[in-house]
Amino acid sequence: MDASYRSLVNSLPAHLREPAERLPWTLGLTSSPDGGWGDFVRLHPNRELPVYAAQLGDGGYCLGPEDLARYVRAHHFGGFTWLLRDRLVDGQVAPDDVLSELSELFGRRWRDAIVDATGEEPLTDLLCRRSTALWRRGTHVERKALAAATPVGARQYASVVREKLGWIAVPSQALLLVDGDSDRLESFLAAHDLFLLGLQAIDDVIDRDQDRALRGGEVPAAIGCSPGALLRAAPKLVQRAAATAMGGGFGWLAGWLDAFARAIATWSLGGDVVGDELEAIGIVGEIEEAIVGRDDSSHVAQPLLASVPA
């Protein structure tokens, strides 16, 4: 990941290279100015998601090492782009001209890297515009939900998280559409969505104080559940992700997810453990039905594409 970032920094205009080198520190992702992206992004699927998408049913790869490396590079570029944009829109870093210019250039490099991997410009532009439109809608809905006093429920939470984080899977989605088995795309995306929801649930419990300070409310309250219940939902969501990945023939991803689910299975905030566990089961049921059943409104984003720039 840090090697990918070095190649990205070297491609920038000279006046942006120094601030780009400090960007992980500027965004608050590292504990020292010398830290890199690899210090923040530690979970292997988050680092190398296309590797898991490239698995064939017989356990091999659907493309060679050099071609797969192009998809991984595009995946890394997406992370650099959208983590910067997320921090800006969430108010976790003050916007300025340099960060705005970096955001724009990173977005172009992300798009170009996907084109380099796929050789498909129209498809790439469609996927990039669509993920951008969904991200904008998801962040808007999230801001409104956190500022409002009325809970939105687990289904809406699932929709918002998917829309905000859908960019992560874009290079892997392109891989499956162009070089892999497109019939397994839905299983892969559903497994990845459930995994991300598990991770987001953990983050949203940890970030309660920060969310109240920056955005006027916290996620558990917006969902209408206790923080303990949302935390207990995380390992269950990851376990569902593992089962979905295995059902789609993505055994490597399923094995990793299963191990991760077991690693976090005992996490709890204490207090009413039984009540939190029962509430978590209900949350997970609603989210799984929304994700695996594709009970979302992401298709509504299609009309937005004409008006949303890449």
Give tens-digit pLDDT for 72-96: 999 999 999 999 999 999 888 999 9
pTM for the whole structure: 0.92
In the predicted model, what is the mean pLDDT of residues 281-298?
79
> Residue 138: which domain range?
2-307
Whether the predicted pLDDT of 307 surpasses 50: no
The alpha carbons of the chain give a radius of gyration, in whole angstroms, of 19
pLDDT band for position 58 (cuts 50, 70, 90):
confident
What confidence score (pLDDT) does residue 294 get?
Answer: 56
Q: Please give the tally of structural domains in the chain.
A: 1
pLDDT band for position 298 (cuts 50, 70, 90):
very low
Residue type, 235: P
Tokens found for residue 23 = 């960007």
Which secondary structure element, helix H or strand E, spans residue 152, and what is its range?
A: none
Q: In angstroms, what CA-CA distances link 120 with 65, 70, 79, 114, 237?
A: 19, 13, 21, 8, 34
Tokens found for residue 204 = 């949203």
Q: Residue 195 and residue 303: Cα distance in Å, rounded?
A: 28
Residue-wise pLDDT for 143-156, tens only, equals 888 888 678 899 99
Residue-wise pLDDT for 205-252, tens only, equals 999 999 898 888 999 999 999 999 999 999 999 999 999 999 999 999
CB of 188 closer than 8 Å to CB of 246: no
Q: Residue 60 and residue 118: Cα distance in Å, rounded?
A: 20
CB of 237 closer than 8 Å to CB of 197: yes
Q: Residue 241 and residue 193: Cα distance in Å, rounded?
A: 8
What confidence score (pLDDT) does residue 59 get?
Answer: 84
> Over the chain, what is the mean pLDDT?
92
- Phi/psi at 61 (5° precision): -105, 150
Whether the predicted pLDDT of 310 surpasses 70: no
What confidence score (pLDDT) does residue 242 get?
Answer: 98
Q: What is the CATH number of the domain that holds 194?
A: 1.10.600.10
